[in-house]
Structure 1
């Protein structure tokens, strides 16, 4: 992809790069700033960070920040009686404006039976999904750090678990690499990874 016409923003086009980008997700100890993780670029500079309940005081609530520490997204798990009766848990990501959540930008459906391999985690871009029921899907194993995010046409947006990335996971449980394809929104990708981290009880959980 090249040029602004090929960008696919969800959060903002400023987080879309014209070339393939390799990022490193590094977990923080849960006793440090509420746990969570930081995301580094190829120069080992922090480009994103995610904090969980240690800072917010509630499980199922996450904040994604940029490299300067400014909040970008507020992500929360929906609750209530209807949610309890649903076959899916639902998460929603909201833009942060003036320090407060504003309009929703994506929603994620988490199957309650994550062990069922045929159940993909589906993501819709707000409002109501640009392509009907869902726009993106997560396939593979987050636990093994071998998964991908793809669009409805099967185009891979981001991937963890091939080549160098797989070797990095084997070397340490505290970091892994994610490769984001050109034009796609890196903040959106990290937001999805933050939800997956929480679902699987890793660094963002209480």
Structure 2
């Protein structure tokens, strides 16, 4: 089995990993969400506007509280005239600062992309010049997958407890980068006005 790191090999497991996402209320710790492993230990946390104070900026931290990803919504030069250029970019955090660009995705609510798959590009030479991953299905209903370019499922998002809107699960396939998957979910959470949004 080969590892497919985007953030780091440290976040790639040799077996399928079942993660639970628990949204935090916006009034507690500024919202966002925590990601739990099957032993109910926090393995990631995502912080948005409630903590950072800036809309359109997210930070993903590992279980020890170290910042690993900084994600920012960036508009193009013509942003004032068109929402078509709004993109989210994820950066590796090094020495407490965003440094190396890792991935980007276009806001699906811009232009006419509402019903099409959300495509994600990885900023590395060993990846394609187009898109590398895509989100299929409906994130709002917690019924979607993240697939690679060949159509292989990287991660599946689903409802774990139907009675609770604050819990859902993500199954990440062996070898894929869990931090990258959580970064994509953090962007989707913000785009659709969930726990990381102001």
Cα distance, 1:56 vs structure 2: 1.1
Match of 1:125 in 2: 122
Q: Deviations over 1:113-159 (max 9, x none)?
A: 57842x11110001478122100000110110000000110000000
Cα distance, 1:83 vs structure 2: 3.6
1:143 aligns with 2:140: yes
Match of 1:103 in 2: 100
Cα distance, 1:110 vs structure 2: 1.9
- In structure 2, relative to structure 1, the CA distance for the partners of 1:129 and 1:121 (3 Å cut) is farther
Cα distance, 1:160 vs structure 2: 1.4
Match of 1:183 in 2: 175
Structure with the largest fraction of helix = 1
For residues 112 and 157 of structure 2, what CA distance do their matches in structure 1 show? 18
CA contact (8 A) 2:17 2:172 kept: yes
1:134 aligns with 2:131: yes
Aligned length: 196
For residues 112 and 27 of structure 2, what CA distance do their matches in structure 1 show? 28
Q: Which deviates the most, 14-23 or 119-128? A: 119-128
1:156 aligns with 2:148: no
Cα distance, 1:47 vs structure 2: 0.1
Match of 1:70 in 2: 66
* Structure 1 residues not aligned, in runs of 5+: none
CA contact (8 A) 2:88 2:106 kept: yes
For residues 145 and 39 of structure 1, what CA distance do their matches in structure 2 show? 15
For residues 179 and 35 of structure 2, what CA distance do their matches in structure 1 show? 10
For residues 88 and 129 of structure 1, what CA distance do their matches in structure 2 show? 25
Residue in structure 2 matching 1:46, options 32, 42, 47: 42
For residues 7 and 43 of structure 2, what CA distance do their matches in structure 1 show? 15
Match of 1:10 in 2: 6
Tell me the SS of whatever aligns to 1:87. Answer: helix
For residues 22 and 139 of structure 2, what CA distance do their matches in structure 1 show? 15
* Structure 2 residues not aligned, in runs of 5+: none
1:94 aligns with 2:91: yes
For residues 190 and 163 of structure 2, what CA distance do their matches in structure 1 show? 22
TM-score normalised by length of structure 1: 0.90
Residue in structure 2 matching 1:59, options 29, 46, 55: 55
RMSD value over aligned CA atoms? 1.7
CA contact (8 A) 1:110 1:122 kept: no
For residues 158 and 169 of structure 1, what CA distance do their matches in structure 2 show? 18
Q: Deviations over 1:32-69 (max 9, x none)?
A: 22110000000000000000011111100000000000
TM-score normalised by length of structure 2: 0.93
Q: Which deviates the most, 42-51 or 30-39? A: 30-39
